[in-house]
Amino acid sequence: MLKLPLKYYDESGRILPPKWLYVLLAFFCLDWVIFIFSLASPSQTDTLLFLFYPQANSLGIALLASLPIVVSLLLLSQRERLWKRNLTGWPRALLPLMLLGISCAFCVVLYHEALVKWQFELFQGIRLLVSIASLYVVSQSRHLRWMVEDWQKGK
C-alpha cells in the first residue's frame, strides 16, 4: 500500500518532494535573487541593494543565513546524479539543513527589526510570519519524513 497518492511518486517509485517545498525554499532564497539581479545592472547595483538592505552588513548576513537553504535546493535538484553515484547518506541532512536555514532566516529578520528599532516593515513582517509557519510545517510534514526515509533506501 502506498503512503501517498500515485501523483507524488516519480517513474522509479521514489517519493517526490512536495510542490510547496520548492516555493518555500525559493522564498527563503530571495536574498540571493535580489543580490544576483542587482549585479545584473552594474550602474544601479548600490541603489538596488540599498533599497532592500539599508544597513551595509544586512545583505552579507542574509546571504550567509540562507546558505543552508541553497544547499538543500542543490541537493534536491541533483538527487538523480547523487543516486547514480551510489551516494545515499545525504537525504538525512535535508530536513536539518532546511530547519537550520529557516531558523537562521528568522534570526536575521529579528536582527533587522532590532536595527530599525522594531518599526513595522511589511516585507519583514511577511518574512517573520512565513518563517514561523515554515518551521512548523517543515518539522511536522509527514510527506517530507516519508520522502527522506524513501530516499535513504537508495533503491
At residue 120, φ and ψ (nearest 5 deg) are -75, 130
Classify residue 122: in a domain, yes or no: yes
The length of the chain is 155
Q: Residue 30 falls within a domain, yes or no? A: yes
CA distances from 34 to 26, 59, 81, 149 (A): 12, 10, 29, 34
Query: 139 vs 35, which has greater pLDDT?
Result: 139
The range of the structural domain enclosing residue 32 comes to 17-147
- Residue 154's pLDDT is 61
Indicate whether 1 belongs to any domain: no
Q: For the chain, what is the domain count?
A: 1
When pLDDT is averaged across residues 37-56 and rounded to a whole number, the result is 80
Residues 78-102: tens digit of each pLDDT: 988 888 888 878 889 999 999 999 9
Q: Does 77 reside within a domain? A: yes
- pLDDT for 86 equals 83
Tell me whether residue 108 is in a domain.
yes
Position 110 in a domain: yes
User: Model-level pTM greater than 0.75?
Assistant: yes
| Closest alpha carbon to 20 in 125, 143, 103, 154 | 143
In a domain, 49, yes or no: yes
Could you tell me which of 95, 101, 97, 96 has the C-alpha nearest to residue 127? 101
Q: Is 12 inside any structural domain?
A: no
